[in-house]
Each structure stands twice: as C-alpha cells, then as structure tokens.
Amino acid sequence: MRIVNVVGARPNLIKIAPIIEQLGQYPQITQILLHTGQHYDYTMSKIFFEQLGLPEPDIYLGVGSASHAQQTARIMVGFEQVLAEYRPDLVLVVGDVNSTLACAITAVKLRVPLAHVEAGLRSFDRRMPEEINRIVTDALSDYLFTPCADANQNLQREGVPEEKVFFVGNVMIDTLLKYEDKVLRLDMFKQHGLRAKGYAVLTLHRPSNVDERGVLRGILEALAVLQEHIKIIFPVHPRTVKMLKEFELWEMVMSLCDLLLIEPLGYLEFLNLVANARFVLTDSGGVQEETTFLGIPCLTLRENTEWLVTVREGTNKVVGSEKDVIVAESRRLLNAGEEKGKPPDLWDGQASVRIARVIAGKPCRAG
C-alpha cells in the first residue's frame, strides 16, 4: 500500500510526524512525504523537520507564497504530476491550509482515496479561507479522522456517512507528549531574562489581524497597556514584521520596553515558553490546542475558533481584537488564581496509533 503524506505549512509537520512514525510500523505500507512549499524558510519550517525527526521530503513542489487561487492552482498542477507518476493507493492530508484543499481536490479527481486528519472542525465563519478548505476537504474524503466530539457532530449534521468517520483524538498532542520531558528541561524563558509565570507569550500572524492597519494598531495599543503590568515575549512571524513596517507601526512596537521581540522559534523552544507562561495571547489554532493540554490560560485574538472544544473544556477564551476587551480579559487573568481546564477525550498521545490501525486494516481504492 503506497501512501502520499502531504504537508505544506509548519503546523502540518507537527501533525504528520507521529502518523509517519506509526505507519512505519506496518511493513506493507510504503510512505512518500510531499512538501508543497506553501510555507518554507529555514527558521519557520526546516528546523521543525530536524526537531521532530522527520525525513527530508521525497518530493518538494516549491510553490511559494501567492494569492489563494494562484497557490492552490500551482499545487494542483504539481500534485497531479506526482499522482500520475507514483500512483498511490491513498493520499493523506492534515489540517486546513491551501495545500490540504488543493491536494484533496486533485486526488479525488484522479480517483485516489483520500484521508483527512483533523476532520470535522468548524468555525462557522466562511470568511476564513481555512473554513472553506475544511468543508470541501471533508466533503471529498474517504477517511475522516476527527480530533474531538464536536467534530463528529458537525460531520453528522452535514450528512457524512458514519462509516467514513473515525474518532481518533488529536495528533498534535501525540507530538507534544513525545517531547514533553525535553521541552520542560529547556530554559528558554530564563535565557530571555524572564521568570516562570512572570510573563505572557504572544503570537500574531493571521491576515485578519495583521493585514488591516486599524486592527493591528488596536492590538498594539492593548499590548502597550498590558506590558506595563507583565512582560510579553513575542516571537515575531515574518509576515507580521512586514506588515508592521508597511503600516509604519514598527517604531510604536519598538517603543514598548516590556514587549520583547524575538526571532521565530523551533517547536521545542516555543513550547517551553508556553509551558512556563502566566498566559498566552494568540491567533493560532495550534496554540489553542497546546495551551488547553498544558493547562495554560489562553486568550484567542479572533472572533471565532474552530477549536470550540478548547473553550468548552480547556483554558481558552475567544476575545477578538478590540483593545478594551483584550486588556480587560488579560487583567482578569493577572488578578485571578490558576484556571484549570481538562484535556478533551482521546487527547492522550495515541491518536496516530488509531489512525495507522484504520489505514492498515482498511486499505481501499475508490471506484
């Protein structure tokens, strides 16, 4: 059985790593790792390959950044050629980036069975490109591997046949648990002159936050208030740096003495910062998952989230991008005691084991 595993962006690598490891336990399975090149530079992606023990991609499409339509089209053209040459029995995609959508459509058009890891998540906001990617990929998939109970419910409401849906849990937690001891032994926060629980972590990269000057400035104004009460460490995404300079907000950022800007970090180093933080401010889906599992309070700087389970059961609260709300919720966390949620069902480090068992036990070829 020949499987093409698709990655395109940094979060995909965290999800695919344990799946590749578990599928490798089955001698009848041959794996091909394809990187579309949707996001790729050394700091933001290659270091993840090294830290997670991933093999170098067998195929690298190198599509680079572009508009949604151009990027999707380039991936589809390149992936069509790959499928024609390798003739796989299954294409496995993870998450909700453009690479996920493009490879899903291409596989199904060529009648290659499709598996989607992290199926069923919904933000119910179709203004988000990721929501479109999720909906379409799920509609096309033969195997839908879901991470939480509400994902199962979403697919049921959408009429997906029950026999296609497999509730396996969250593969990102598989990776987190594998490296947890190594993460906790690091001292990234000390290297930056911080003390445990004496700082907040910030990540900011979504177009809805950084591509609109008014929104970005409002978030910065909130940070200007917060950094007077707690130090904030900010691994800055290259896209965010670009927009801060383009909007002439860079000087404002640099004037905030207790907002510490650092280069993007590897997976282990970033998790060490998160695990020792008082709380986290983010617009990342993956960070919502990680903070819920680690029990770290999280304020999500978005209007909605596909990870509703982290709000219902975990430590996450969706606060949007308004200055006053961000400040008020951050102050609440500073003045409150520890807030403890709980990991959702099957966030136990065994999701990739379950995925591999299903794939190895039920190989199929469509049509």
Known catalytic residues are 205
Dist CA 363 CA 314 (whole Å): 35
CB atoms within 10 A of CB 47: 19
DSSP 8-state code for residue 163: G
Amino acid at 293: F
Half-sphere exposure of 178 (CA within 13 A, CB side): 20
Q: How many residues does the chain have?
A: 367
Q: Name which of 266, 209, 198, 276 is nearest 232 in CA terms.
A: 198
Residue 12's Cα: distance from chain center in Å? Answer: 7
If we measure between CA atoms, which residue out of 302, 323, 326, 300 comes closest to residue 217?
323
* Tokens encoding 207: 């177009």
Give the number of other Cβ atoms within 10 Å of residue 42's Cβ.
9
Q: Which has the closest alpha carbon to 8: 113, 22, 48?
A: 48
DSSP letter at 135 equals H
SS (H, E, C) 273-321: HHHCCCEEEECCHHHHHHHHHHCCCEEECCCCCCCHHHHHCCCEEECCC
